[in-house]
A and B are shown apart, each in its own frame.
Chain A
Amino acid sequence: MIYHPHPDELLLFVTDHPSLDGPDRARVAAHITTCTGCAEEADALRVFYASLADPSLYAFMAEDAPRKAALFASLQSEMDDAELAGGVADDFVAELLARPVSRWNALLLRRPEQQTYALAERLLKHVDIEMNRRPLDTLDILNVIARIADSLHGHDADEVSAHVWKQRSNAYRHLSRYTESLSAADIAALLYRRLPDGEYGEAQAHLTAAIALFKMTEYQLALDKLTPAITTLHKYGVNLPLIRALILQANIFVEQGDMARALPQYRSVLPLLNKIGDRIEEARVLGNLADCSLRAGDYETAIHDATLAVDRYEQLRMEAEAVRATWTLHLAQLKVGDLEALDRLHITAAAFEVLSMLGEAGFVRLDITEELLRIGDWEAATPIARALVDLFTRARVTLAQVEAIDQLRRAVEKREATPDFVRQVRAYVEAENPAIPFTAPRPN
């Protein structure tokens, strides 16, 4: 193992501390002539400790103490005002929510004093909550918030308008109106640019555009948006948009089949999620790591990460996600020769069925079939292949997909099916392209 001085040792070295004796001092000195990383760290520490000896900095801190306190008092009064305005806005939001959105503008016209930043803030929060469930309705709410923004001034007006356009972009994306989503994200970026922390918002708008491009499977364009956004967000330390951007980037690497970049990227996000305390996203990243490791053939790591993901999801009572992670876990266990994992996959399939996730249940049973064919257990494979037709029919896949599954059933019954046949059926069903009929591979 290469020797690198411990940070404490480096600290003693740069501060000429007497507790670092001659030979140790010589060893550190010799090392930093050959190690760029340690030399840079030592230089940074030297500059830092030189600044620590700068008397003007101590004087600078001392000179402003009274004004510092006065400015903080002013900030506290700003917080009081914000809380007061927030309380008023909360009451008014309750009044608005008791009416259909179509009547909100009329009410706001009668109560212009309610058109405040605090109200816009609360309605934007409401949009955030409703976005996944009712994206079309959020567009109407966003039109109301845009009117409130028109009555605000300065940065408040720009900020609310920018948020409105960013959320419009999200809504359009949910509605699969991708071109509109991209245009809205561009407008949001322009508006954010007017704010003092504009580049932070602008980077978030680019992230929103990148998500739309990801959905459009325009992976390279998404990366082009994402890479500079990540650079900008990094400058603000650890923050939620940065983490989301890094995860999206890793997701793109996965879609591009680049596990070598996806794996370290997901891994690097874990401590950030831990720092920000986002347990749900942490569980998702662990699940993604397990999937990637499985795809990359690193089964032991896949087992490790999938076990952690299952554990986290169960703690969070996210049942469907927990079952999905057990699927990865058992597949990885199967790959390392644990044949009992086959029984556990049956339990996973049953769990998906209980959750009415019939498509997922079908895919798990396809995995089981593939493994049974690999080990030549036709007796066990046949009833499963028969049940698959019913399962996928109930999952409401297309007729062409059911036909592909039925071809698999017949091949299994005739003992002509191979694991590769199963993989082809799976790829066909996943591709969801009913225009092209499934062509069974010729039996050997």
Chain B
Amino acid sequence: MLTQTIDRERVAAAYASVYDALRFIAERQFRIPEDDAREIIHDAFVRFMRHHQTVADDSAWLVRTTRNACIDWSRRHRPTEALPASLTEPSRDVNAKVDVLRLLSRLSARCRDVLWRRFVEHETAEEIAINCSASTSGGYGRKLVYECLNAARAALNTVRGRA
């Protein structure tokens, strides 16, 4: 069934939470040039705008639609290259990266910062407390990390459709 009224807030929310993941799929996974990748993503959102009333899991729908469009693009632009199976059925590693991008988009900037410090910069709990708040307490830093991990887990469950 087609839709006639556009839920603009819903389209905007989907855009905010899944755009980076779609770009990752198009640009990094399929190695599609930026301009074409953006066109593919734009088309996916236009189709979503038309069909969102029959969809409950917005980001899953957008990810799948974008991935299919990327497959079509690859077949059109690189007809002599065999499409690796890893592109049509992505590995767990790729899925995890897509999930991380989707969930980072859902987290607050503060939580993104805390997770960056904990997992990428390997800051200690005390350093996180100092850098992210006025506190110097390691306990508070651990609490911040734990809260953000929990928020990440909740976002992950939503991203994976378990919410």
A residues engaging B (CB < 8 A)? 7-8, 11, 15, 17-19, 43-44, 47-55, 57-58, 60-61, 64, 67-68, 71-72, 74-76, 78-79, 82-83, 86, 121-122, 124-125, 128, 155, 163, 196-200, 235-241, 272, 275-276
Interface of chain A: mostly helix, strand, loop or mixed: helix
CA distance A76 to B113 in the complex (A): 29
Q: Does B47 contact A121, Cβ atoms closer than 8 Å?
A: no
Closest residue on chain B to residue A121 by CB atoms: B2
Kindly list 10 other residue pairs between chains A and B, CB separation below 8 angstroms, not including A60-B28, A75-B46, A196-B65. A47-B96, A61-B101, A71-B42, A74-B42, A78-B49, A86-B4, A155-B43, A196-B69, A196-B72, A237-B55
The 4 closest A-B pairs by CB, nearest first: A237-B57, A237-B60, A238-B56, A53-B119
Smallest distance from the beta carbon of A283 to chain B beta carbons, Å?
A: 18
Interface positions, chain B 39-69, Cβ under 8 Å from A, are: 40-47, 49-51, 54-61, 64-65, 68-69
Which of A61, A125, A241 has the most chain B CB atoms inside 10 A of its CB? A61
Known: A61-B104, A78-B49. A238 touches B65 (CB 8 A): no
Q: CB-defined interface of B21-50 with A at 8 Å, one 1/0 digit per residue?
A: 001100010000000001011111111011
Q: Does B6 contact A (CB under 8 A)?
A: yes
Known: A44-B96, A74-B42. A55 touches B15 (CB 8 A): no
Closest residue on chain B to residue A239 by CB atoms: B55
CA distance A163 to B50 in the complex (A): 13
Q: Does A128 contact B1, Cβ atoms closer than 8 Å?
A: yes
Residue numbers in A under 8 Å from B12 (CB-CB): 72
Q: Does B1 contact A239, Cβ atoms closer than 8 Å?
A: no
Q: Does B57 contact A236, Cβ atoms closer than 8 Å?
A: yes
Residue numbers in B under 8 Å from A197 (CB-CB): 44, 47, 51, 61, 64-65, 68-69
Q: Does B68 contact A18, Cβ atoms closer than 8 Å?
A: no
Segment at the interface with A among B79-87, B128-136, B145-153: B145-153
Which of A51, A54, A71 has the most chain B CB atoms inside 10 A of its CB? A51
Known: A48-B100, A71-B42, A238-B161. A7 touches B153 (CB 8 A): yes
26 pairs, CB–CB < 8 Å, chain A vs chain B? A11-B153, A47-B92, A49-B119, A51-B97, A52-B115, A55-B120, A57-B97, A71-B38, A72-B15, A83-B6, A121-B50, A124-B1, A128-B1, A155-B43, A196-B69, A196-B72, A197-B69, A235-B64, A236-B64, A237-B55, A237-B58, A237-B64, A237-B161, A238-B57, A239-B54, A239-B55
Known: A7-B153, A53-B119. A61 touches B20 (CB 8 A): yes
Residue numbers in B under 8 Å from A237 (CB-CB): 55-61, 64, 161
Q: Does B144 contact A (CB under 8 A)?
A: no
Residue numbers in B under 8 Å from A122 (CB-CB): 4
CA distance A163 to B150 in the complex (A): 44
Residue numbers in B under 8 Å from A128 (CB-CB): 1
B residues engaging A (CB < 8 A)? 1-4, 6, 8, 11-12, 15, 19-20, 23-24, 28, 38, 40-47, 49-51, 54-61, 64-65, 68-69, 72, 92-93, 96-97, 99-101, 104-105, 112, 115-116, 119-120, 142, 146, 149-150, 152-153, 156, 161
Q: Does A235 contact B100, Cβ atoms closer than 8 Å?
A: no
Q: Does A236 contact B55, Cβ atoms closer than 8 Å?
A: yes
Residue numbers in A under 8 Å from B156 (CB-CB): 48
Residue numbers in B under 8 Å from A68 (CB-CB): 19-20
CA distance A18 to B139 in the complex (A): 11
Interface of chain B: mostly helix, strand, loop or mixed: helix
Q: Does B112 contact A58, Cβ atoms closer than 8 Å?
A: yes
CA distance A196 to B49 in the complex (A): 14
Closest residue on chain A to residue B39 by CB atoms: A71
Known: A44-B96, A53-B119. A125 touches B4 (CB 8 A): yes
Smallest distance from the beta carbon of A339 to chain B beta carbons, Å?
A: 45
B100 touches which of A57, A236, A276 (Cβ 8 Å): A57
CA distance A236 to B100 in the complex (A): 18
A75 touches which of B45, B54, B161 (Cβ 8 Å): B45
Smallest distance from the beta carbon of B133 to chain A beta carbons, Å?
A: 20
Q: Does A57 contact B64, Cβ atoms closer than 8 Å?
A: no
Smallest distance from the beta carbon of B138 to chain A beta carbons, Å?
A: 10
CA distance A47 to B161 in the complex (A): 18
Residue numbers in A under 8 Å from B59 (CB-CB): 237
Closest residue on chain B to residue A89 by CB atoms: B4
A51 touches which of B20, B93, B150 (Cβ 8 Å): B93
Residue numbers in B under 8 Å from A18 (CB-CB): 142
Which of B12, B46, B54 has the most chain A CB atoms inside 10 A of its CB? B54
Q: Does A57 contact B38, Cβ atoms closer than 8 Å?
A: no
CA distance A43 to B60 in the complex (A): 22
B68 touches which of A79, A198, A275 (Cβ 8 Å): A198
Closest residue on chain B to residue A241 by CB atoms: B54
Smallest distance from the beta carbon of B16 to chain A beta carbons, Å?
A: 8
Q: Does A196 contact B56, Cβ atoms closer than 8 Å?
A: no
